[in-house]
Amino acid sequence: PLSLFLVLPNFVMSTRLRDLIKKVRSAKTTSDEREIVANELAEIRGQLRKEVPEVRQRCMAKLLYLHTLGYSTSFAQMECLKLIVSSFYSDKRIGYLGLMILLDEKQEVTMLVTNSLKSDLSHPNHFIVGLALASLANIGSEEMCRECAPELEKILSGNNPYLKKKAGAAAIRSLRKAPDTAAAWYTPAGLMLSERNHGVVLVGATLLLEALRTEPSLLSASDAVKISSCCVKSLKALTVSGYAPEFDVSGVTDPFLQVALLRVMRLTGAVSAAAAEVMNDILAQVATNTESTRNVGNAILYEAVQTILAIRCDANLKVLAVNVLGKFLRQRDNNIRYVALTTLGRVVSLDQTAVQRHRNTIVDCLKDPDVSIRRRALDLIYALVNGSNVRVLVRELLNFLLLSDVQFRPDLTAKLCTVAERHAPSADWYLDTVLRIMDLAGAYVPDSVTSSLVFMIGNKPTLHEYAARKMYTILASGDTLDQPAGLLQACLWVLGEYGDVAVEGSDDVEPDAAVASSLAELPPAPSADDVIAAVAKVTRALAAGMRDDPTTLGFALVSLAKLSERFDAGTAPGGVDLAQLAAHANIDIAQRASELCALLTTVDADTRSTVLDRMPVPEADPEDEARAAAAHEAAAAGATTASEPPAAAAPSKSRKVK
């Protein structure tokens, strides 16, 4: 706007705006610039004191320039008002510009201009009316907007598109400052949608959206049909029109107006099924024919998808919207992919089948370098998992867990554990999956997962032999102390309870076909000495202090004692002397070793057998079941943060071993 001031007529003042700009730009140092500005401000004050109307305009132009440089020009606020009340257009132009730049709605000086605004809104020169409307739309306070509302309504009902679009902008400001006036602007906004001028229609759509967001009850079913028909007509004209240079943006005709119309249709289509029926064809046309090679087209497609998903439309149209989002996922722009993943996350609860078609593309997003893309993809995959695809998706997630960043593992581990428990196709698959998660995720697996696993094994007699042999294989292979504590504790508990089943098999129950097939893939059944040796190896390593983990050592001692009773291995099973461990530095370990040693040596056989017998089947705590359901929902919502292990999101916090 300052370029407009370069053509101002020369008055008696010595320095023109152009000369001032040259002097400021030619200053070599900051101090030189400050000196030039200080001298100029002093000269401007002197000229303004003379109250010469011909000079005030040029002074204000220079003050606006200095204001943009950051210098204080607050003394010129009253000069703006003097220019506004002038009868010359050139003075009013500078006055209103100064009003918008130097003042805001919170300053009391703006109240003094209200009468001038009302007068200029009724001025016969529509350019002056436009200046007043622009000022009201930019800095209008609630009181100013209420005072000028009658004039705005009169202009909106007129035929001048230049003024109507400016009045619409002022009405939007008025509505935001005084929400209780929404009803007054609702009808004019609807009428503006039938105009031919693009600017008027755009402002009308924006005003209507603002009114309906403020007061949704204004929109009736009959109004929704009428408004939808106007929007469809305008949108159809935009989509079939030829090249229009004044509205073309990257090959798309007026995308801003198209987006605004689609947003209006989103509101009207949600209110009335008849309104949604009116817009079905045009929405399908926009979603099918709009080019997605540029961001302009993507913006329109996204709004079309949002509209389709919000209205009461045909199921085929919703599938088309999901397919558009699938195309977004294949684009290189991460912003578009992020938007697509976020939107699909909301759609999956409405139509999971349509989203499932793009499952492979969603899984590929887990490999994206952008962590926000990976998180959104993980949340979406979590929502897509069901009984029919759990094996495939969990396998993909396990592969991703193997390569994922440290900060990403807590959330991923929590979701994997929840999915594995909720959708497990078989008990042996759940066992293998949880053991794999424990092996890969380590410390990120909460203790509740171990409890969940033990609960499941205890309640599945057909799984006892497979679980015991699987656990023995884990303890017998490699350096056991490299395994996470939760995995070791589960293995020690299972071998303590069902170690004899791993050796002798189970005569009471026959494993089902799936478990029998898994058993056939394991190494041959171990001997009693092998089982005791595997548990003793862990016990000796922990007792020697190779890892400070008294909890796991306690599991190991109990497991050894139970195996000693089952296989008659005496008080030093596997070479572990329980009497020697009674002098351990940890008080709990020393007490447990002493009690177990006494149990194996001094207690009669019947009592010892009763005490060291298998534990009863674990029972579920109803209160903990409710907490587990809440934990599942928290994990589904992605509530777990990446900065801490997701104990709250882990599955089956509900199960305790009694």
pLDDT digits (tens, 9 = 90+) for 173-208: 999 999 999 999 999 999 999 999 999 999 999 999
- 53 closest CA partner among 15, 14, 79: 79
d(CA 37, CA 63): 10
Give the C-alpha distances (Å, rounded to integers) separating 211 from 478, 517, 518. Answer: 70, 66, 65
Mean per-residue pLDDT, 128-153: 92
pLDDT of residue 171: 95
pLDDT at 651: 32
CB 484, CB 439: distance < 8 Å = yes
> Cα–Cα distance between 643 and 469 in angstroms, integer?
36
448-468: average pLDDT: 87
- Cα–Cα distances (Å) from 140 to 90, 136, 143, 145, in that order, read 22, 4, 8, 6
**pLDDT value for 632:** 46
Distance (Å, whole) CA 601 – CA 592: 14
650 pLDDT exceeds 50? no
Q: What is the pLDDT of residues 498-552, one digit of tens each?
A: 888 888 887 677 777 778 888 888 888 889 889 998 898 888 888 887 778 889 8
**β-bridge mates for residue 249, sequence order:** 252
Quick one: pLDDT at residue 577?
Answer: 77
- 400 and 412 Cβ atoms separated by less than 8 Å: yes
Question: In this predicted structure, what is the pLDDT of residue 231?
Answer: 94
Give residue 628's pLDDT.
Answer: 53
Chain-centroid distance of CA 427 in Å reads 34
Confidence of residue 639 (pLDDT cuts 50, 70, 90): very low
Predicted local confidence at residue 239, as pLDDT: 86
In the structure, what pLDDT confidence band is assigned to residue 442 with cuts at 50, 70 and 90? confident
Rg (Cα) of the chain, in Å, rounded? 38
Q: What pLDDT is attached to residue 308?
A: 93
As a whole number of angstroms, the distance between CA 546 and CA 104 comes to 71
Asked whether residue 280 carries a pLDDT value surpassing 70, the answer given is yes
Helix residue spans in 140-272 (DSSP H): 142-156, 161-177, 182-192, 198-214, 221-240, 255-271
Taking 70 as the threshold, does the pLDDT of residue 276 lie above it?
yes
Q: Is the dihedral of CA 248, 249, 251, 255 positive or negative?
A: negative
Q: Is the pLDDT of residue 657 over 60?
A: no
Q: So what's the pLDDT on residue 485? A: 85
Mean pLDDT of 167-171: 95
Label residue 53 by pLDDT band (50, 70, 90): confident
Query: CB neighbours of 92 closer than 8 A, spacing ≥ 6?
Result: 83, 84, 86, 120, 128, 131
Chain segment 575-631, per-residue pLDDT in tens: 787 888 888 888 988 998 898 888 888 888 888 888 888 887 766 555 555 555 555
**Cβ(565)–Cβ(600) under 8 Å?**
yes
Closest CA to 254 of 199, 193, 293: 199
How many residues would you count in the chain?
658
Does the reported pTM lie above 0.85?
no
Note the pLDDT tens digit of each residue in 226-248.
Answer: 999 999 999 999 888 777 788 88
Structure tokens at 571: 């008080």
Q: What are 325-336's pLDDT values in tens digits? A: 999 999 988 999
Closest residue by Cα to residue 561 from 551, 542, 576, 541: 576
pLDDT confidence of residue 644: 37
How much is the mean pLDDT over the chain? 84
- How confident is the model at residue 186, as a pLDDT? 92
